[in-house]
Amino acid sequence: MVTFVIIISIFFLILGLIGSILPIVPGPPLSFFGLLLLHFFTSFNLESDYLFYFGAFAVIITILDYWLQIYSVKYFGGGRSSTFGVVLGILGGIFIFPPFGVIVGPFFGAYLGALIESDCDFFKSFKIAIGSLVGFLGGTILKFVYSIICIWYCFDFFI
């Protein structure tokens, strides 16, 4: 039974790592769930404060991931159409051109949205699209680092 729980928790940890790159899969919560499975059903034991910190960081990073992309578009000068373009670009990029569509989709969505709201100012639109890319990469790096740390704690237990 313990072996089965370990396999399932490793599955969730790997799924969390994949989710750190794909925006449709919630990476940090899945990685945290893998830690919880190991903690409650095997001899792997995290201290309660570490367990709390991992859970709190999973929630914070998940919220920050969505907020960073919208904030960076607005920071670089985008408005409502640019933000809407980012959301459409994320959804379209996932299904139309995976795996690169996850990066290219929000970029072009923000670019087209910025073109609409800036009366075809190509330079400003490109700057706003770069902002969406910065926000996406920032959120992806946060999620990826969190998932790697979760995996490292688990493999530290096994070694």
pLDDT tens, position by position, 52-110: 999 999 999 988 887 887 888 888 888 888 888 888 888 888 788 777 787 888 888 88
Q: Which two tokens stand for residue 46?
A: 């995290």
pLDDT value at residue 98 = 72
pLDDT value at residue 30 = 95
Greater confidence, 93 or 11? 11
pLDDT value at residue 15 = 95
Is the confidence at residue 140, as pLDDT, over 80? yes
